[in-house]
Amino acid sequence: MTYYNTTNETGADLSVSIQKNEKQEAVVLRLFQSVGEWQPSHIYEALKVYPITSIRRTLTDLTARGYLIKSDVKKKGMYGKSEHVWRIRS
C-alpha cells in the first residue's frame, strides 16, 4: 500500500485516507484478476467512483510493487489521447 500524504494528515483523517487507498488498490487489482488487461479510462468508466488521476496513481503503484505490467500497447482513452494498457503479472 502506498499513500502519499501530501496534505500532512494525522490521526483519524490519515487512517481514513489510508483505508480508502487500500480499498481502491484492492478493487483495481480485482478488475485485473477478472479480465487481465485494462487501461485507465476503462477502469474509470467501469467504476465511476475514483478520479482518473487516482486510478493512474494506483496503476503506477501496483506496477512498482510487481502486481501489474505496463505494456507498450496504447489505445485511445476517454480524452481522445493514447494511453497505455496494463496487464496483470502472471
pLDDT in tens, 34-67: 998 999 999 999 999 999 999 999 999 999 999 9
1's grid cell: 500500500
Please tell me whether the overall predicted TM-score, pTM, comes out greater than 0.85 for this model.
yes
Q: Is residue 42 part of a domain?
A: yes
How far apart are alpha carbons 83 and 52 in whole angstroms?
12
Task: Indicate if the pLDDT at residue 13 is higher than 90.
Answer: no
Q: Is residue 64 part of a domain?
A: yes
Angle at 22 between CA 16 and CA 23, to 5 degrees: 90
| Domain span holding position 76 | 11-88
Q: Is residue 6 part of a domain?
A: no
Write phi, then psi, for 15 (nearest 5 degrees).
Answer: -60, -45
How far apart are alpha carbons 20 and 3 in whole angstroms?
9
Domain tally for the chain?
Answer: 1
Query: Residue 1: pLDDT band by 50, 70, 90 thresholds?
Result: low
Q: Is residue 55 part of a domain?
A: yes
